[in-house]
Each structure stands twice: as structure tokens, then as C-alpha cells.
């Protein structure tokens, strides 16, 4: 599999975005997050998303060089509209506001409606954590057909609705960061499996008849055949539904019900940012986080496992392992070159 230095991928993504019309700041924010997702081990939300971005821009679903606009602002409560602009810009601007308001008020509630794809949600938690804040994010995915079947259901009624929580350590890094799709696997992981020609893990997918399958290809047929299975049975299915209700409907964003808009990837996100200092717990809090996590880690390892990991540790390890090279499968590599050509840069090499 071809392997690329992160800087090479970053430069490629930046140049393709600039060819799409993005100003330099926007192009760099997109590249930062996509390559950052690859570095964190989440190829599903890495540079492999770029061809979809190019296609959606041409289709008119992704608006270039947009910024958030304010819908409601009462100090600690802010609702923003992302105007179908790049989520990498909208997410950063929304978190800038969340950080400022949480520092002023102790807690901030920021709703972001109608953003184009905001990518790996942990990226936004990391922005809050870098400012010393804890954060909670409910997110829905609207604007395309449903992907995930509810518990007991044989067709899809919501998407992979991610949920994320992080708490800060003292060094600007998360003490723990839980960032997960509410489906057993993210859709991008089915795409990576399809591109590599390998099966998805057992129990993660149903076919068009509602039967469990490991073949991801039906998910990419038109019309789509099958659905992802929600994680955690009724509990994960329930959390995905709450992401629709809290992450979208509560802040005035679109749920996935009755979508008739052209294909796009719209995310709505409700963020709660919390300043530990406002709770009187800043002193010694990080020490308690670390001590508690160490105590959990010390659980005797169960048969079939090698170790007990905390949320966020697989991503930290991936960053160390991938710092000097990120593998890109052949299909994704070809799709990236085609995307560059589609954006007007057939000369770009990777």
C-alpha cells in the first residue's frame, strides 16, 4: 500500500481545496482535520473524504469560504448556522465561541446547525481541551439517506450520529476522550473495507432483506441495499435517536426524517463546554482524572484481551505509529488523484 508523509498529504489536500476556490485559511483547516483524522487512526474521516467534498462542491451542496452566522446569542447560549460551509471552518469558529463563553460563564451551550461535514468530532473536543475545558458533543447527520437501522428494525432510520465527551489533563491534552459513531462501525469504515475488498466485522451490517452480512458493497449501490447496525443494541440505538433530538431538533437543525434535499453531508452539533474552574474543581482535578484512569487501567486483563485501554489511547498510539507515514489504499489513492483533476488540478501528483 502506498505510504505518504503527513506533510505530503496535507499539502495535497490544501492544494485541492484551493483549486476548489477555498482561501488559504480554509484550505489549511480542512487539511489539518483530514490528515489529523488519519494520524489518529481514523482513515474513515481522513483524506479519503476529499473526493466526496469535491463532488459535493460541484453538485452545489458544499459552499466555499462560508462562516458561521449567529441565530441566537444570549451569552452562555449561542446558536449558529453553518450555511452549508466547510465543517472544518464552522467547527473551529463554533468552538472558538464555546471556549470564550465557557470562560466567561463557566459553561457554554453552542448549537451549530446546517454545517457541511464536521468530520472527526474528537477534533472539536481537542480544541476545547486545549483551552482547559471539558466538553460534550451530540451530533446528527442529515442531508443524505439514512444509514443505520434502529434496534429491532430492518431498514435505516438515522445515520451514524456521533457522540463525544472529553476531559482535560494539565498539558493541553485530553485525560480521556471518548469519540464514537453510534453505529457498530462508521460508514467510512465500510467504505475503507469496500475499497480494500475485505469484509466488515461480523454483526455490523444487514443486507437489503434485513439479514446480517459482512459484505459492504450493498451499502454503496444505488439505491442502497442494507443498513449499518446500531452499537450496543437498544442502548446505542437510543443514543443515536437522542443525537437526532438533542444534537439537531433541540437547536433547530434538520433531523433525518423526510429528507428531500439534494445529496449532501450536513451535520448538526450541540456542544456543552464546561470550565472546571467554575465548578471549584480545577485544583487537583487532573490528578484525580489520572489517578482514576490508572485505577481502571489496573483491572486484571480478561481472557481474550491484552490490556485495558482508556478512551483516546488508541488514537494517541496511532499518532505515534503514523507520525512519519500514513498508508493510503490504492482505491483511495486513485480517487484522490481523480478528485484533484475534477477540482481543476490534473497536474497534482501524490
Q: State which of residues 14, 44, 88, 268 lies at the interface with ligand NAD (CB under 6 A).
A: 44
- Rounded CA-CA distance 283/228 in Å is 43
Nearer to ligand NAD, 180 or 241 (CB): 180
Enumerate residues 246-275 that contact ligand NAD by CB under 6 A: 267
**Strand locations in 123-216, DSSP E?**
134-142, 148-149, 163-168, 174-180, 205-206, 212-213
Nearer to ligand NAD, 244 or 315 (CB): 315
- Rounded CA-CA distance 179/185 in Å is 12
Helices (H), 197-250: 233-247
Q: What residues pair up with 139 in beta bridges, in sequence order?
A: 269
* C-alpha grid cell, residue 61: 451542496
Establish if 165 lies at the interface with ligand NAD (CB under 6 A): no
Establish if 91 lies at the interface with ligand NAD (CB under 6 A): no
Establish if 311 lies at the interface with ligand NAD (CB under 6 A): yes
How many residues does this entry show for the chain?
A: 350
Establish if 312 lies at the interface with ligand NAD (CB under 6 A): yes
Q: What share of the chain is helix, strand, coil (3-state, %, to 5)?
A: 40, 20, 40
Q: State which of residues 26, 81, 126, 179 lies at the interface with ligand NAD (CB under 6 A).
A: 179
Establish if 181 lies at the interface with ligand NAD (CB under 6 A): yes
Rg (the chain; Cα; Å): 20
Establish if 61 lies at the interface with ligand NAD (CB under 6 A): no
> For the window 111-150, what string marks contact with ligand NAD as x by the rule CB under 6 A?
------xxxxxx------------------x---------
Q: What does the binding site for ligand NAD look like in residue numbers (CB under 6 A)?
A: 42, 44-45, 117-122, 141, 160, 162, 177-181, 185-186, 189, 267, 309, 311-312, 314-315
Amino acid at each position: 500500500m502506498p505510504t505518504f508523509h503527513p506533510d505530503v498529504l496535507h499539502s495535497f489536500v490544501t492544494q485541492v481545496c484551493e483549486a476548489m476556490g477555498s482561501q488559504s485559511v480554509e484550505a489549511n483547516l480542512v487539511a489539518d482535520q483530514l490528515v489529523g483524522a488519519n494520524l489518529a487512526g481514523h482513515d474513515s474521516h481522513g483524506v479519503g473524504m476529499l473526493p466526496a467534498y469535491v463532488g459535493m462542491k460541484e453538485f452545489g451542496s458544499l459552499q466555499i469560504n462560508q462562516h458561521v452566522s449567529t441565530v441566537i446569542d444570549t451569552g452562555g447560549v449561542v446558536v449558529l448556522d453553518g450555511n452549508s460551509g466547510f465543517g472544518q471552518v464552522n467547527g473551529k469558529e463554533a468552538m472558538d465561541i464555546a471556549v470564550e463563553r465557557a470562560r466567561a460563564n463557566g459553561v457554554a451551550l453552542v448549537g451549530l446547525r446546517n454545517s457541511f461535514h464536521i468530520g472527526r468530532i474528537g477534533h472539536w473536543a481537542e480544541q476545547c481541551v486545549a483551552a482547559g475545558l471539558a466538553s460534550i458533543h451530540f451530533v446528527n447527520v442529515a442531508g443524505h439517506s439514512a444509514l443505520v437501522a434502529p434496534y429491532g428494525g430492518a431498514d435505516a432510520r438515522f445515520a451514524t450520529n456521533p457522540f463525544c465527551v472529553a476531559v482535560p489533563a494539565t498539558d493541553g491534552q485530553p485525560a480521556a476522550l471518548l469519540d464514537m459513531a453510534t453505529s457498530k462501525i462508521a460508514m467510512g469504515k465500510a467504505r475503507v473495507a469496500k475499497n480494500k475488498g475485505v469484509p466488515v466485522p461480523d454483526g455490523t451490517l444487514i443486507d437489503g432483506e434485513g439479514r446480517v452480512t459482512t459484505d459492504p458493497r450493498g451499502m454503496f449501490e444505488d439505491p442502497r441495499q442494507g443498513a449499518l447496525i446500531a452499537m450496543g443494541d437498544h442502548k446505542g440505538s437510543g443514543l443515536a435517536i437522542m443525537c437526532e433530538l438533542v444534537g439537531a431538533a433541540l437547536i433547530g437543525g434538520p433531523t433525518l426524517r423526510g429528507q428531500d434535499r439534494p445529496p449532501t453531508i450536513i451535520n448538526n452539533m450541540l456542544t456543552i463546554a464546561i470550565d472546571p474552574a467554575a465548578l471549584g474543581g480545577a485544583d487537583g482535578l487532573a490528578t484525580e482524572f489520572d489517578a482514576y484512569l490508572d485505577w481502571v487501567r489496573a483491572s486484571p486483563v480478561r481472557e481474550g484481551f491484552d490490556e485495558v485501554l482508556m478512551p483516546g489511547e488508541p488514537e494517541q498510539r496511532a499518532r505515534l505509529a503514523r507520525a512519519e507515514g500514513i498508508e493510503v489504499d490504492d482505491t483511495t489513492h486513485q480517487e484522490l488523484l481523480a478528485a484533484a483533476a475534477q477540482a481543476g488540478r490534473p497536474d497534482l501528483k501524490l
